[in-house]
Structure 1
Amino acid sequence: MFFNVVIVAMAASPASESDILLKFKASLVHNTALDSWNASTNHCTDWEGVRCFEGTVRGLQLENMGLMGAIDVDTLMGLSFLRSVSFMNNNFHCPIPSIWRFGALKSVFLSNNHFYGEIPDDAFAGMGSLKFLYLSENELTGKIPSSLTQLPRLLELGLEGNKFEGNIPDFQQKDLRLVSVANNDLEGPIPPLLSKMNSSSFVGNKGLCGVPLEACQLSPKKNSYALLIIISVIAVLVALVVVALAVAAIRRRSQTEQLGRPSSMSGRAKVVAFEEEKMETGSQQEHSTTSSRKAENGKLSFVRDDRERFELQDLLRASAEVLGSGSFGSSYKAVLSSGKGMVVKRFRHMNKVGREDFHEHMRRLGRLRHPNLLPLVAYYYRKEEKLLISDFIGNGSLASRLHSNRTEDQQGLDWPTRLKIIKGVTTALAYLHKELPSLIVPHAHLKSSNVVLNESFEPLLTDYGLLPVINNEHAGQIMVAYKSPEYAEEGRVTKKSDIWCLGTLILEVLTGKLPMNYLKQGRGSDPDLASWLNSVPRGEWTREAFDTEMGGTRNAEGEMMKLLKIGLSCCEEDVEKRLDLNEAVEKIEGVRMRDNDDGHSCSYASEDMYSAQDEFSLSMNRE
């Protein structure tokens, strides 16, 4: 009897996540890319493509691995906390998997495979958390499921390059920022809510019509009714024009009477139009050039295919909130008519390279893909100045979180969050060094104000990879890598100058103190944080060194001290003694949230993960 009870209990115990993943691996064909998946290692820290948070699998990012066979949904259902999956760019040739059975998924990326078949109309009815769905470049047929229109959180939908037919369902989600159905067999009018999308989202469907494509043709039966509507609209417009002219005349008279009187400000001192900052596009100087040159100067160059398209004039028309005036120029937040916020940075010290070299380098930066890099979206080239455009991240910079006065609803950064930030910054820096090996200093301007934080406090590096397009004299005066000891002593920078910047950032995050040597342009003599720390007796470090606002430090002093020593090793004045990047990455990954940690956590990274669509991370927000 006892034996039977034991058997029943064993059968009832749930399989571990490692067992589930190994079973899933066994169901795939050509799975050699998953050789790191084995029972002797930890699935959260050592298995390729597995993303964890707090010890549980939250995402699978199995892209570009040559995987074949079928996706075993039944097995994956055992991963109770799975929120994001990406199987992009593999060789699955089978019916589309029933991913809609994962009701809690936030993002699904299945593009560039050979999935085929129809999707049931009500398939997505239970996926209330779904934000990102990409099924592009497959062989899917039938109608676009109407259940997609009922997903309250849907932000992006990629269905291009399939064989969908019929009408586009009537999407009503106001937060939708991207829907692409290009190159299918769709017909009929484009739903009104989708008219704000770029025309490239609808090309390749011979039967589609309506904004932003050509107008739909009315049937003969509707001509007379349409004519009445047109006449009515014209009559209303004429009346409005008359009223507008009268109001304008009254205002002109009022303004003439008040000429010479001081005008009052609206109080929105931080909101300006780009024209007020004397952007010369559209100015008298611009009008004096040839029409072809004007067209070129007014054109934005996009380096990403997964972003809403807009024109420079859209930015000019938008009011721009000044985010700051940095060493290179001003930064603005511009809100497009769709509601999407963009950051526009103006650079005045980029005359070093010619037009073609600049274009090529920007395209190179646009190809970078990492969860802790703020991606470049588009740029604008003129000889006198350049604009770099990226997404707006609303949680502020690391510098503002460390050094600004706190608001009532804004708390300081605790130790686990600071550790997560440092780990994210380090992995992004390692990625830059891997992808930009030809650059002397792949980042060159790493500092806390160039690290922005998303809603889950995942760090995103900005202003990276710009050294090749910055004038030498300005680089020496402004960029952080040129504050390093080797430049002060020998007038040169090396790849380890980025390591010195990383070390200084680590010390700033732990101490909460500003690196004073950054604040002066040129070669300053102000002591750096490493020098200050070395002047403090080590016995007093725990009391003097660490930021008093840093919470969550219980049972963590040993790990905090470990990270402090790593930061100092990265700041070693002797370049030969300074840690190299691989050593820094290994040591920082070894730092845990608490002393005597068993090392089996998920490195305390956020739930965010990244895919080729760059929004994979956004789907991993904490529940």
Structure 2
Amino acid sequence: MGHNKAYCCLLLLFMLTCLVGASWGETEATILLRFKNSLSNHESALSDWNDSAPSPCTGDNSNWTGLRCSNGTIFGLRLESMGLMGVIDIDTLTELPLLRTLSFMNNSFDGQLPDVNKLTSLRALYLSYNRFSGEIRENGFAAMNSLQKVYLARNNFSGKIPKSLAALPRLSELSLEGNRFEGKIPDFQQKDLIMVNLADNQLEGRIPDSLTKMNSSLFAGNKGLCGKPLPQCKSSKKRNIIIITVVAGSVVSLAAIAAVSYIRSGPTTTSQVKNFQEKNAGNIVGRKEAQSSNHYRKAENAKLYFIRNERGRFELQDLLRASAEVLGSGSFGSSYKAVLLDGRAMVVKRFRQMNNVGKEEFRAHMGRLGMLFHPNLLSLVAFYYRKEEKLLVSDFVPNGSLAGHLHARRAPDQSGLDWPTRLKIIKGVAKGLAYLYKELPSLTLPHGHLKSSNVLLDHNFEPLLTDYGLMPVINKEHAQQFMVAYKSPEFTQYDRTTTKTDVWSLGILILELLTGKFPANYLKQGKGGNVDLATWVNSVVREEWTGEVFDKDMKSTKNGEGEMLKLLKIGMCCCEWNTERRWELKDAVEKIEELKERDSDMEDCSSCGSEGDAYSSRAITEDGFSFSVNG
């Protein structure tokens, strides 16, 4: 009897526990609504997340935006390209025990990485293309033993790559490109590792043996990295010798030119030549290096050629004596800023990959470029020819490049380029490009290297195109490896360029200007592969979130969204992969010229190509904000 009584008490206690648990527990709908309230700017994006909506998962389907269901419960959350901000409430997400995949790509979340390691059963994490910043804690991925895919690209993370990330036992895909990670790459020992993308960071040192079989493009943009699949590492002593040799050779070459110019300026004795060499070359790279060079004896015909007679000239010794500053090293060579004694600031670009063209041919082409004159072109001032290297001299533009204004870090109180300024810039770019097409009709690629870092801005933010018209004198193999025209779909697919290839580059520049995102495929050597920026824009508009594509740092856009959308459509028509359907330059320039700072009546642009199908079979809705794109 006592035994039965005890059994009944236990049964009653169990039933009470179940009843209390049911009353205390929350449904998945309640949990999701609590999570939604932690986000900002969710009203339209998550409008179907509400109390009156049916249960989140019915069978394996969901009528709640972004949910992925399996067996009637939530296993994935995919809230991409929605303009979401605020806090990702990880604590609330832990109440979804079967959650396995999480994606918030292409939103505007900022601050430090959330405490994702609380989601210990997560298999895939996608947080690329947001604004997360700061260092990731060393244990930021600890205990996440099921995690296989981690995508954190194109944020602003800094510091070292945490060892807990490299130690994930099941990691197969890792995407960290486009951040500011520094230090050495940790060792990855996973057997199933497929891809580790570390491009465009600040990493240094030898690439670990476990990653040496990866493609070299996955490590591009890290100046301090070496070892397979990148060039072999050099000892610091050997590296210093190479740097000294390169700098010494460059300055000695300039000193040699100046010496010849000095000799020709009047009667000169042998002792005067020697004194000049020691005075100008010895002060910079050491007398021993200058005296040991026999280049002076070989440079009798060396001469700096000035393009225009109306320009005030300067002697080469003035250039040598000027205060110098290294501006950077690009795909063609190094650039230097030299301030002359009279206050003029010049830029000297040094080219080594032009040694397949003869002197007369080079002089003729430079003279042709030097005669070009347009408000949106940076004119060539002078040039120097030597078989091993070429120097191009132009005026210094103090306001920097468009790339710098779009992508450089700004102070918290510093605003980005506003819409009227961006419109002015793209109109000037279009005018300059149209002028090149008119004046250089025999060139397949009148520009050939149009990108945001080759668009300089004067003090009024008027654009000045640089590095144009160099295709005939650049070594072909070097051009195909580095020039952006050769990242185009027609070269990637068919190994050819056309008169519409520069139009494709213009389209990419338009998308970069509007989105604020850098076309990362430009960092890759060789063929461009998929055009990541255009592909990303395509993915956004396919999801009917076209309005979210625009750069959040673009200020003063009130009443300008319609005109911005028109420019976006122009960019898409210029980025048409099919060259038959891609716009002609004159059509793109005409439509860009029609754009205004403020909205007027919405008018569709003309069709891409000449087939009459608006935007190459793009279906534009009445509100003008979403359109689908054929592959």
TM-score when scaled to structure 1?
A: 0.50
1:454-482 per-position Cα deviation (integer Å, ceiling 9, x unaligned): 00000000000000000000000011100
Counterpart of 1:382 (choices 383, 386, 391) is 386
Provide the residue aligned with 1:490 in structure 2: 494
Residue correspondence of structure 1 range 90-169 to structure 2 within 5 A: none
Provide the residue aligned with 2:253 in structure 1: 280
Counterpart of 2:301 (choices 271, 277, 296) is 296
Question: Matches of 2:292 and 2:441 in 1, distance apart?
Answer: 39
| Alignment CA distance shift 1:331-1:279 (3 Å) | farther
Provide the residue aligned with 2:53 in structure 1: none
Residue correspondence of structure 1 range 361-440 to structure 2 within 5 A: 361-407=365-411, 411-440=415-444
Question: Matches of 1:548 and 1:384 in 2, distance apart?
Answer: 46
Q: Is 1:451–2:455 an aligned residue pair? A: yes
1:139-191 per-position Cα deviation (integer Å, ceiling 9, x unaligned): xxxxxxxxxxxxxxxxxxxxxxxxxxxxxxxxxxxxxxxxxxxxxxxxxxxxx
Moved more, 313-322 or 413-422: 313-322
Provide the residue aligned with 2:230 in structure 1: none
Question: Matches of 1:307 and 1:433 in 2, distance apart?
Answer: 26
Tell me how far 1:536 sits from its aligned partner: 1.2
| Alignment CA distance shift 1:404-1:540 (3 Å) | farther
- For the 8 Å contact 1:274–1:319, the answer to whether it is kept is no
Residue correspondence of structure 1 range 600-611 to structure 2 within 5 A: none
Question: Matches of 2:602 and 2:529 in 1, distance apart?
Answer: 43
Moved more, 425-434 or 404-413: 404-413
Residue correspondence of structure 1 range 486-565 to structure 2 within 5 A: 486-537=490-541, 540-565=544-569
Question: Matches of 1:285 and 1:432 in 2, distance apart?
Answer: 45
Count how many residue pairs are aligned between Structure 1 and Structure 2: 327
- For the 8 Å contact 1:413–1:551, the answer to whether it is kept is yes
| Alignment CA distance shift 1:279-1:440 (3 Å) | farther
Q: What is the identity, as a one-letter code, of the residue corresponding to 2:420? A: P
SS in 2 for 1:467: coil
1:554-606 per-position Cα deviation (integer Å, ceiling 9, x unaligned): 0111110000010010010000100001111111111111101799xxxxxxx
Counterpart of 2:350 (choices 346, 349, 356) is 346
SS in 2 for 1:533: helix
1:319-362 per-position Cα deviation (integer Å, ceiling 9, x unaligned): 32111110000111100111100011001100121000000000
Tell me how far 1:311 sits from its aligned partner: 2.2
SS in 2 for 1:445: coil
Q: Is 1:315–2:319 an aligned residue pair? A: yes
Question: Matches of 1:313 and 1:553 in 2, distance apart?
Answer: 50
SS in 1 for 2:317: helix
| Alignment CA distance shift 1:290-1:553 (3 Å) | closer
- For the 8 Å contact 2:486–2:528, the answer to whether it is kept is no
Question: Matches of 2:509 and 2:556 in 1, distance apart?
Answer: 20
Tell me how far 1:295 sits from its aligned partner: 4.0
SS in 1 for 2:472: helix
Q: What is the identity, as a one-letter code, of the residue corresponding to 1:294? A: A
Question: Matches of 1:570 and 1:527 in 2, distance apart?
Answer: 13
- For the 8 Å contact 2:540–2:546, the answer to whether it is kept is no
Tell me how far 1:406 sits from its aligned partner: 1.2
| Alignment CA distance shift 1:273-1:455 (3 Å) | farther
Question: Matches of 1:302 and 1:489 in 2, distance apart?
Answer: 41
- For the 8 Å contact 1:331–1:345, the answer to whether it is kept is yes
Q: What is the identity, as a one-letter code, of the residue corresponding to 1:479? A: M
- For the 8 Å contact 1:280–1:286, the answer to whether it is kept is no
In structure 1, the gaps of 5 or more residues are 1-271, 600-623
Question: Matches of 1:273 and 1:474 in 2, distance apart?
Answer: 20
Question: Matches of 1:384 and 1:485 in 2, distance apart?
Answer: 33
Question: Matches of 2:472 and 2:550 in 1, distance apart?
Answer: 37
Tell me how far 1:410 sits from its aligned partner: 5.0
1:246-265 per-position Cα deviation (integer Å, ceiling 9, x unaligned): xxxxxxxxxxxxxxxxxxxx
Q: What is the identity, as a one-letter code, of the residue corresponding to 1:466? A: L
- For the 8 Å contact 2:349–2:393, the answer to whether it is kept is yes
Q: What is the identity, as a one-letter code, of the residue corresponding to 1:388? A: L
Question: Matches of 1:274 and 1:306 in 2, distance apart?
Answer: 33
Provide the residue aligned with 2:103 in structure 1: none
SS in 1 for 2:433: helix
SS in 2 for 1:469: coil
Tell me how far 1:412 sits from its aligned partner: 1.2
Question: Matches of 1:568 and 1:584 in 2, distance apart?
Answer: 11
- For the 8 Å contact 2:419–2:597, the answer to whether it is kept is yes
Provide the residue aligned with 1:330 in structure 2: 334
SS in 2 for 1:296: coil
Provide the residue aligned with 2:110 in structure 1: none
SS in 2 for 1:343: strand
Superposition RMSD in Å: 2.5
Provide the residue aligned with 2:479 in structure 1: 475
Tell me how far 1:275 sits from its aligned partner: 4.4
| Alignment CA distance shift 1:395-1:289 (3 Å) | closer
Moved more, 522-531 or 328-337: 522-531
Tell me how far 1:516 sits from its aligned partner: 1.0
Tell me how far 1:495 sits from its aligned partner: 1.2
Question: Matches of 2:573 and 2:375 in 1, distance apart?
Answer: 26
1:475-501 per-position Cα deviation (integer Å, ceiling 9, x unaligned): 000111000000001101111000000
SS in 1 for 2:425: helix
SS in 2 for 1:468: coil
- For the 8 Å contact 2:562–2:602, the answer to whether it is kept is no
Q: What is the identity, as a one-letter code, of the residue corresponding to 2:469? A: G
Question: Matches of 2:550 and 2:363 in 1, distance apart?
Answer: 44
- For the 8 Å contact 1:344–1:390, the answer to whether it is kept is yes
| Alignment CA distance shift 1:540-1:320 (3 Å) | farther
| Alignment CA distance shift 1:388-1:562 (3 Å) | same
Q: What is the identity, as a one-letter code, of the residue corresponding to 1:416? A: P
Larger RCO, structure (CA 8 Å, separation 6 or more): 1
1:500-554 per-position Cα deviation (integer Å, ceiling 9, x unaligned): 0000000000000000111111013354211111111356544421000001110
SS in 2 for 1:536: helix
SS in 2 for 1:411: coil
Moved more, 544-553 or 404-413: 404-413
Tell me how far 1:411 sits from its aligned partner: 3.4
Q: Percent identity?
A: 64
Provide the residue aligned with 2:142 in structure 1: none
Tell which structure's C-alpha radius of gyration is larger. 2
- For the 8 Å contact 1:476–1:482, the answer to whether it is kept is yes
- For the 8 Å contact 2:418–2:555, the answer to whether it is kept is yes
Residue correspondence of structure 1 range 157-236 to structure 2 within 5 A: none
Q: What is the identity, as a one-letter code, of the residue corresponding to 2:294? A: S
| Alignment CA distance shift 1:380-1:448 (3 Å) | same
Q: What is the identity, as a one-letter code, of the residue corresponding to 2:586? A: N
Question: Matches of 1:417 and 1:541 in 2, distance apart?
Answer: 24
Question: Matches of 2:360 and 2:318 in 1, distance apart?
Answer: 25
SS in 2 for 1:280: helix
Q: What is the identity, as a one-letter code, of the residue corresponding to 1:574? A: N
Question: Matches of 1:549 and 1:477 in 2, distance apart?
Answer: 33
Tell me how far 1:287 sits from its aligned partner: 5.2
